[in-house]
A = this chain, B = another copy of it.
């Protein structure tokens, strides 16, 4: 599988750099260092490579581990995705691929909607547990979070350059604006917006398998309470 990984890594880099439309199989081949025969053993076309790249993207829920508050999981998902795009050329290639096809609905629509659905699910559970302010429209807010994230990543690439993304700062501003608008104050005060919450979820709250088993948030709970 090493050859396959080499090809997909190269494809991510090529797509991220010059875009999917402009990229050719030859560009991917050249960058990967594998033989033409090896590439065509694994993939039949540029489209085929793109599909494989998309299929291997980590689902949103795997970027996040269970937390005391569902809204913390929303926050963690945003931060983890930013970290993934910073560290992983394949993820950046996928992102660009999705953007180019966004308005056509070919790849982008699914990418967008998977993330919207993930956030929507968390927000529904946040509402059940009393974490969410009464006026919040769950679907609209889930779409807003994903939209703003996409725009921030684009801006970061355009302004900071592809290798020097300041998504930590940009995403921090997004979260600091959105969360006070949607969270009840007692929950908002306890949310952790990082830095440090960058997708390495392995050392946090690993021993909390039952995401929704905990009691709802007591109203008026003050800041600084320990995690479950």
Contacts and interface: CB of A to CB of B under 8 A. Distances in A.
Interface of A: 16-19, 21-22, 96, 99-100, 102-105, 108-109, 112-113, 116, 140-141, 143-144, 146-152, 154-155, 157-159, 162, 169-170, 173-174, 176-178, 180-181
Interface centre among A112, A149, A169, A177 (most CB of B within 10 A): A177
B148 A102 contact: no
A19 B100 contact: yes
B181 A140 contact: no
B158 A144 contact: no
A173 B143 CA distance: 10
B102 A154 contact: yes
B147 A151 contact: yes
A150 B155 contact: yes
B140 A146 contact: no
B143 A150 contact: no
A113 B154 CA distance: 12
A181 to B, nearest CB: 5
A195 B141 CA distance: 19
A100 to B, nearest CB: 6
A16 B104 CA distance: 9
B157 A143 contact: no
Contacts of A155: 112, 143, 146-147, 150
Nearest to A151: B151
In the A-B complex, the 10 residue pairs with the closest CB atoms: A151-B151, A21-B21, A147-B151, A147-B155, A150-B151, A103-B157, A148-B148, A147-B152, A177-B181, A109-B158
A148 B151 CA distance: 5
Contacts of A17: 103
B144 A103 contact: no
Contacts of A22: 21
A201 to B, nearest CB: 24
